[in-house]
Structure 1
Amino acid sequence: MNEIKAENAALRKEISAKEVPGGSQEPGTSGLKDVKTLRDVVDEIASDVKCIEAHVTAEKADQPSKDSADLPPWASHHLISKDFRHYIPRFTEEGILNVGDIDLLEDEIPMFTSIPSEADNDSEDSLLVLKDADLLYQENGRIHHTKDYDHMRRKHKLLILRRGVEFGVDFTFNRPYVKGTDSIKFVFTLEGRRTAEYSHDMSFSLDPAIGVVEMKDEKPTKWLSDWNSYFNNINESTISVQLKTPPKCSIGRWIMKLEVRSQKSKYSRWYQFSRPVYFIFNPWWSEDGAFYSREEHLDEYVLAQTGTIYVGRGDNNYGGYNIVPKTAPIKWAYEQFAPDILECALYLFTHNCPRDKPLTVIERGDVIKVARRLSSVINFDSKDSDGVLWARWNGNHDDGEPPNYWNGSKEILQQYYRTKMNHPSRVAAVKYGQCWVFAAVMTTICRALGIPARPVTNFASAHEKLENGYTFSVDEFVDKQGHDFNTNVNHKFDEIWNYHVWCEAWMQREDIGDLFNGWQVVDSMPQEFCESIYPMGPAPVKACRRGHIDLGYDVNCLFSQVNSDVIQFQWLGPKKHKFLKVVSKKRIGKYLCTKDLNSHKPEDITDTYKTKEGSFDERQSMQNALVLAGLPFNRSNLREKDQEVIFKMAMPEAVIGSVFKYEIVIKNKNPTVQHSGSVWIKVYSAPIYYRRKCLTNFKLDFIVEPGSETRLPGSVEYDQYKKFVMQDGNMQVRYFAVVNNTEITHSNIGHFSFSKLRMTINILDTRLYLTRNFTAMVTIENPLPVPLVDGMFSIHAPGCSRIQKKLPLQGPVPAGTTASVNFELKPLMPGKIDIIANFHSNSENIMTNDGIDVEIMEVEPEIDIQP
């Protein structure tokens, strides 16, 4: 009680600090409205405390309290259990923190309340009286694979369960339970939903937001597809109960009530648990929509809190379409079990999104509907002022963080969710993200809800500008002189992004057939409007492979991104063009990858999206798509022309700060004829989606002898590109070539990314133990020809408490030298943990990312010191 008073006094003091004379508002405060809200809360707390004090005093004197009727519901005198404490919100300048960060007070506020009824006046007192309850957090957490959630590791825990699997609860009553005389019934109600009128005499409910389960004396031989419960054990006055949800139970927070009856009484007694029980998807259960049969893979796709996302570093030398492109790994902390993440996930698909109608109770249990809603609400739409993450590609990130700043999802989701909880009407979108950030956040949300998920990267990803629907072709245009027209800024053209990252989520597809069970693409990054909102997916990967674009869920969009042809037209005016040739059937979707299950290396999954390029099956898939889209199917029979002069590009490795070099390689396959011509070359500072800045534009003439090759070198100095290259260090070389006295033309785009800055993380302690601080050192090497005058490290380590959030450099780092910063971490769980570090410098517009794995031992061995 004293601690409640102390908390109340602290709140009053904080309010006094917030108030501004005359009702004005100071910058940085939440305003007078919030102050009034705080006062209301504090006054309510003070009133509750006064009632409780009067009631306790009266109880000690064995007299009724005149204020007992005004007791707050959580302070009922029927409540005995001390296992869980009621919480009182703490406040910051931004308002009320979410429950995930609330400190729970030590006062004896119980985990359940007695609902007043006529049974309280039953003179026989034959009804059982609930004295205590044990929700068996440790055992249930182990069985349900939920022990790592923050809710389950707090001092005062919240129960998180996966639907469809039994969970146990122990109840202690005032006397032994008598079979045949006593009976128990549970009622579960979905939090935050209006429910049908419920009668205490009902033994079942047709409302999916209400679950009614009568206790059975014996375990059923066959489970019903509804709520189930039975006695597991009776030990004097303590009974052990097993419960089980229906297979399609809605995901969310459920309120649990308990009714006890007796044949010796016409009344019943009800108890309501103070805190909700969370039910989430269960990929370990065969009847769940998120079921994944290979259990060993779920350690990665559901439980792993860190991973690797692959982005593009450019084409390999000579840019062959069948050669795996260079990839750059980004270590990412998903941290799906961190505070507020599950709450945020539930909020995203349950709140009233302005873009679409709310999900029904039944839809909240449908993994397909939930995934589609998530793909819509994660991206920010300025028209609706809603969404988690704000996308921006123009390079202007002064009012937020650049996309490369992020190396984890937790900070993004916590910032969004806490803003929404404190200021529901405020735009809470976090600035800024691009495709890999959206995919990572989507992966975190899916894993938090129990849906297996992983990020996937598509290299050379087509992006059609939709006017007449998807045509499954990237259209390149040349003018009447044969010169490249796609760079004309007055028109919008199809694009080939050097890479695009999306999220794959695993689910069963009862709606379209079991043939399409498995990985589904769910892309939350804003692209084109689909069904008047921004969702993409869940699109079955198997449907994409077969060209079945008629199944809905944006399979046509996915097919276009991974399997379009590149076709060249002559530009004759808006919506007027002439077909020239098929440039390539192999350039698009040439490599798709995700993190390997057993390492941080990429796993090639291209074959899951498309059959071998140029094969009969691949062309058949294209023909299927063309027919279903109402396009001329004979296009699938068009072939690339075999040219006797071949053009390719070579771009050697380079670190940012050095000269960017490239070569156009021209090979003459004709053994007797010499060829000549011209090449027009443009070099852009072009990260994947930005409006490009042309760094250099020139023409080169060439002569290539019979049966030989010639090379046309080019370069861009650091001073030319340093102001324009974004933090991912991407460059783009576009060239267009014409061979004299022939019909041979060739165009291509080469993507290049500078090698990452060298950064290392070293652990300075020899052995690491649970709850013992240890020291690590992060070191950056400056490869630039100029000093690094600023720079910041950010550290993520799921499973640790971070002592320092951001680590700035201690001073300028001269060219060609290194700088180091030490930091401390405290492990909160044993086993392997990943430490991920980002470094970014705003002045030089560079960043890098790396990580290491370390092993945490549970107990430090005792040292026997002999006298």
Structure 2
Amino acid sequence: MAFIDNVSDWFESLADRFRRENDELRREDRENELINETNEIANDATDASQPAKILSVDFKAKENAANHHCEKYELLERRKDVSVLRRGGTFLITVTFNKTVDLKKQHQLKIYMSFGPRPNTQNGTQAVMTVSGKMMFDKNHEIWDVRVDEKSPTSATLEIQIPTEAPVGLWSTAFELADRGDKDGASRHLMRSEQMTYILFNPWNKRDYTYMAEEPKREEYILNDVGKVWIGSYPTARGRHWVFGQFDDAVLPACILLMEKAKVSPENRGDPIRVPRAISRIVNSNDDNGVIMGRWDGNYEDGSPPTKWTGSIAILEQYVSTQKPVRYGQCWVFAAVVNTVCRAIGLPARVVTNLNSAHDTNGSLTIDEYFDKDGEEYRYNFTGPNPEGERDSIWNFHVWNDVWMARPDLPDGYGGWQVIDATPQETSDGVYQCGPASHEAIRQGQMHFKYDVPFVLAEVNADVVHWQVDDGAPDGFKKLSSNQFHVGKQVLTKAIGDVESGGFNKNDREDITQEYKPNEGSRAERLTLYTAARRSRAARHAFRLPSEAIEDVEFNIKDVERVPIGEDFSITVTMKNVGDANRTVTSLLTASSTYYTGAKAYPITRAEGEFVLKPNETKTLSLPVKYKDYFPLLVEHAMIKLVAICNVKETSFSWVGEDKFQVIKPDMIIELTTEAVVDQPLGVRFSFSNPLSNSLTKCSLVVDAPGLVRPKTIPLSNVPSKAKMVHEMKLYPKKETNCTIVATFNSIELRDLTGCVNVTILSTEG
């Protein structure tokens, strides 16, 4: 077999091939023509004296794909030279010869399966199988094997066994036919097939490390190509519709290129630990010019805003075409694309959203907030215990992925769901990658188990600790208070089943908080955190210090739960003196717009006051916030942060309370106006009511429906104040299928309105 000596040449040739093929498919889409290629088999007349040759090989791509749960991959429809299979299974091929061939006595047929630029039998990237005429497999599931299924004089149908630990990716095949008694190779006939065989992980196979026992879970976490990503603030997070599109004809080639670019060695491509770790690295662009460039400052003029994307297909296709990072994404875009890549190659995966997600920068398992002697929070140029590092922060939400696998590298019980995270927050082993981190290790505080358990544990279960300047304290700060309940308020994923239209419906979401930690505040939850803290010097420091303040005034900030965009709201803080003496309280309330990462955008308004509370007396301070004041200052995701800082003069006690919420936007309504039938126009209506006193300008609608229409952007006219936006279009179904239409509306004034509708395309006879 010929090798390609230069691995970079291998990558470039592969990338060029995929680009050419993708361009061909897209050109055919534009011309609205279907591929109708036929492979004619040459029936050359030969006499009995001619050497035996292989005329053709039928890879039975569609039949084999159906047996491997791979029939949805569109490449099977669009290309004749593609097979998609799962390791640990078997597949059939039919080899046709130019003359009568006797595989038992006279002729010898060898099959070569090769993977990567330098295939080698020793590292599992090449297999050489000799067809001996046997009718049964005699090798174990870890080894390639072949048997004869049917035989005629001039053809043989063979069944090939794929090892359960075979590398996942693109395999090539070659065949060699020769006379058994040929010593000098004169009769040798070598045929290199143009067939590209994608071999995937196999969650249906009990011997595969990705095995998932329950069929409904396999349907959701491997085969479902449309879902939701929860974004927003607790408790009003909404499900944003997303087309994963893992079966699209552009996706599998993109996944192969990603594995090449991530430099996962070919022999490790079957490792369900190394592969998702590499995916978490290559989907961001920080180290390897990966798929997506992140941006969080709202400036997207040289690219696309993250809210523009309705799914992963357009992102991956652009990356394959340009070989440059796609601009721009944020955590939920990173996670959605990771989900696509994982499902495409057979890794069971789901998108997970953590509401009030901690970003612990120093491994203390705490989010530390520092205040001066007057109770004002340090924000800039602060010199605390970690002056050189970044400030800890709490993201309103953060999105990552769970991937399902066994963990043979860990003790029993630590397999199952594992966290990987492609958002470039902190480096791991010197690059921006994260995971796989075992749920069970996170839940039990086992910081020493690979990979990145401490970071994920802090994200879901850190304490928020308030510190104040104190010249007598060892580090110059005394611990005022801690909040055990703020971080990891709720962890959400899409529930098994159909995706629902409304973003705020709860029927298609699942609360998986307890998979990450015991009940907040319970003895088990505290034990988890203390177990983890013992392994971190920074954490031991934070957890050992008691509160030194006298706390005889109780404070409470009233949570703001649902504020529809366009409406006013107010902030209210309640103060109650539970002591025996008068207390003087100074209070400051502020409202500011914020990025979802917790970074402050613009101040909106503030109120302050001083109160004297008699014993058992309660008073309140309220701050009204008007629509006209907050709307011009909103940034993407329309999030607002409320902060209350209260100081008790007599005891020097300082209290800080905060609330974060997302202003609610309307859902997109999608309706079918005609019956959905193959080869008949399907009418679709998109609508919503503009809730603003402003007109919506530079409007666009992105429509995406895997199996029905590829991502399509439609410019729209302005939408007047308080008016209804309505757009109607026709789609043209080409096959019977169940699919989901997803749409996203964006304008300058109002972004990221999404909706979906499930569609069953019927046959003309139905």
Q: Provide TM-score, normalisation by structure 1.
A: 0.78
Aligned to 1:82: none
Q: 2:744 aligns with which of 838, 846, 855?
A: 838
Q: Distance in 2 between matches of 1:276 and 1:545?
A: 43
| C-alpha displacement of 1:714 | 1.7
Q: Distance in 2 between matches of 1:575 and 1:687?
A: 35
Q: Structure 1 residues 108 and 617, CA, compared in 2 at 3 Å: closer, same or farther?
A: closer
Q: Structure 1 residues 715 and 385, CA, compared in 2 at 3 Å: closer, same or farther?
A: farther
Aligned to 2:608: 699
Aligned to 1:414: 317
Q: Distance in 1 between matches of 2:694 and 2:613?
A: 41
Q: Structure 1: state its 5+ residue gaps.
A: 1-40, 42-87, 115-119, 197-204, 316-324, 421-427, 862-867
Aligned to 2:405: 507
SS at 2:264 equivalent: coil
Q: Distance in 2 between matches of 1:243 and 1:704?
A: 83
SS at 1:442 equivalent: helix
| C-alpha displacement of 1:375 | 0.9
Checking the alignment, whether the CA contact within 8 Å between 1:111 and 1:273 is kept in structure 2 is: no
Aligned to 2:724: 818
Aligned to 1:476: 369
Q: 1:162 aligns with which of 86, 102, 109?
A: 86
| C-alpha displacement of 1:789 | 3.1
> Aligned partner of 2:405: which letter?
M
SS at 2:534 equivalent: helix
Q: Distance in 1 between matches of 2:707 and 2:691?
A: 33
Q: Structure 1 residues 326 and 819, CA, compared in 2 at 3 Å: closer, same or farther?
A: closer
Alignment of 1:91-130 (within 5 A): 97=22, 101=26, 124-125=49-50, 127=52, 129-130=53-54
Say whether residues 1:645 and 2:582 are aligned partners. Answer: no
Say whether residues 1:656 and 2:581 are aligned partners. Answer: no
Q: Distance in 2 between matches of 1:575 and 1:484?
A: 20
Say whether residues 1:402 and 2:305 are aligned partners. Answer: yes
Root mean square deviation of aligned Cα: 3.1
1:615-639 C-alpha deviation (Å, 9 max, x unpaired): 2221221122112224565965777
1:449-506 C-alpha deviation (Å, 9 max, x unpaired): 110111101111111233xxx0101111110122322466897521111111101111
Aligned to 1:131: 55
823-832 vs 846-855, which moves further: 823-832
Q: Distance in 2 between matches of 1:415 and 1:572?
A: 55
Aligned to 2:419: 521
> Aligned partner of 2:304: which letter?
E
Aligned to 1:306: 226
Checking the alignment, whether the CA contact within 8 Å between 1:461 and 1:497 is kept in structure 2 is: yes
> Aligned partner of 1:822: which letter?
E
Aligned to 1:393: 296
Alignment of 1:260-279 (within 5 A): 260-263=177-180, 265-266=182-183, 267-279=187-199
Q: Distance in 2 between matches of 1:112 and 1:386?
A: 46
1:213-270 C-alpha deviation (Å, 9 max, x unpaired): 1225121266352111111122453322111122221122111111223346553322
Q: Structure 1 residues 806 and 179, CA, compared in 2 at 3 Å: closer, same or farther?
A: closer
Checking the alignment, whether the CA contact within 8 Å between 2:702 and 2:713 is kept in structure 1 is: yes
| C-alpha displacement of 1:286 | 1.8
Q: Distance in 1 between matches of 2:75 and 2:43?
A: 21
Say whether residues 1:209 and 2:125 are aligned partners. Answer: yes
Q: Distance in 2 between matches of 1:701 and 1:488?
A: 29
Aligned to 1:808: 715
SS at 2:332 equivalent: helix
Q: 1:234 aligns with which of 136, 147, 151?
A: 151
Q: Structure 2: state its 5+ residue gaps.
A: 1-12, 29-33, 500-507
Q: Structure 1 residues 235 and 463, CA, compared in 2 at 3 Å: closer, same or farther?
A: same
Q: Distance in 2 between matches of 1:409 and 1:755?
A: 25
> Aligned partner of 1:741: which letter?
E
SS at 2:528 equivalent: helix
Q: Structure 1 residues 112 and 739, CA, compared in 2 at 3 Å: closer, same or farther?
A: farther
Aligned to 2:67: 143
Aligned to 1:286: 206
Q: Distance in 1 between matches of 2:446 and 2:310?
A: 36
| C-alpha displacement of 1:212 | 0.9
SS at 1:185 equivalent: strand
Q: Distance in 2 between matches of 1:240 and 1:284?
A: 25
Checking the alignment, whether the CA contact within 8 Å between 1:334 and 1:441 is kept in structure 2 is: yes
| C-alpha displacement of 1:290 | 1.9
Checking the alignment, whether the CA contact within 8 Å between 1:544 and 1:559 is kept in structure 2 is: yes
| C-alpha displacement of 1:859 | 3.7
SS at 2:607 equivalent: strand
Q: Structure 1 residues 599 and 195, CA, compared in 2 at 3 Å: closer, same or farther?
A: closer
Q: Distance in 2 between matches of 1:112 and 1:504?
A: 50
SS at 1:365 equivalent: coil
Aligned to 2:752: 847
SS at 1:816 equivalent: coil
1:358-394 C-alpha deviation (Å, 9 max, x unpaired): 322211121211111111111112xx57111111111
Alignment of 1:66-105 (within 5 A): 97=22, 101=26
| C-alpha displacement of 1:702 | 3.9
Q: Structure 1 residues 577 and 100, CA, compared in 2 at 3 Å: closer, same or farther?
A: farther
Say whether residues 1:347 and 2:240 are aligned partners. Answer: no
Q: Distance in 1 between matches of 2:18 and 2:203?
A: 36
SS at 2:252 equivalent: helix
Checking the alignment, whether the CA contact within 8 Å between 1:387 and 1:429 is kept in structure 2 is: yes
Checking the alignment, whether the CA contact within 8 Å between 2:606 and 2:623 is kept in structure 1 is: no
Q: Distance in 2 between matches of 1:537 and 1:571?
A: 37
Q: 2:163 aligns with which of 246, 250, 253?
A: 246
Aligned to 1:429: 325
SS at 1:459 equivalent: strand
Say whether residues 1:359 and 2:264 are aligned partners. Answer: yes
1:578-631 C-alpha deviation (Å, 9 max, x unpaired): 232332112111211101113542211111111112222212211221122245
592-601 vs 715-724, which moves further: 715-724
1:772-814 C-alpha deviation (Å, 9 max, x unpaired): 3301010121111122233111111111025x8222223x322
Checking the alignment, whether the CA contact within 8 Å between 1:334 and 1:408 is kept in structure 2 is: yes
Alignment of 1:461-500 (within 5 A): 461-466=357-362, 470-486=363-379, 492-500=390-398
Q: Distance in 1 between matches of 2:214 and 2:18?
A: 44
> Aligned partner of 1:768: which letter?
A
Q: Distance in 1 between matches of 2:27 and 2:474?
A: 60
SS at 1:665 equivalent: strand
Larger Rg: 1
Q: Distance in 2 between matches of 1:703 and 1:260?
A: 97
Q: 2:512 aligns with which of 602, 605, 613?
A: 605
Number of equivalences: 725
Aligned to 1:579: 478
Q: Distance in 1 between matches of 2:578 and 2:268?
A: 64
Q: Structure 1 residues 160 and 378, CA, compared in 2 at 3 Å: closer, same or farther?
A: same
Say whether residues 1:185 and 2:185 are aligned partners. Answer: no
> Aligned partner of 2:201: which letter?
F
Checking the alignment, whether the CA contact within 8 Å between 1:253 and 1:276 is kept in structure 2 is: yes
> Aligned partner of 1:418: which letter?
S
Q: Structure 1 residues 829 and 632, CA, compared in 2 at 3 Å: closer, same or farther?
A: same
Say whether residues 1:559 and 2:462 are aligned partners. Answer: no
Aligned to 1:619: 526
> Aligned partner of 1:183: which letter?
Q
SS at 1:742 equivalent: coil
Q: Structure 1 residues 364 and 174, CA, compared in 2 at 3 Å: closer, same or farther?
A: same
1:333-372 C-alpha deviation (Å, 9 max, x unpaired): 0001112211111111212x5xxxx322211121211111
Checking the alignment, whether the CA contact within 8 Å between 1:335 and 1:798 is kept in structure 2 is: yes
Q: 1:327 aligns with which of 221, 237, 243?
A: 237
> Aligned partner of 1:444: which letter?
T
Aligned to 1:719: 628
Q: Distance in 2 between matches of 1:436 and 1:111?
A: 49
> Aligned partner of 1:665: which letter?
V
> Aligned partner of 2:562: which letter?
E
SS at 2:339 equivalent: helix
Q: Which has the higher contact order (CA 8 A, sep 6+)?
A: 2
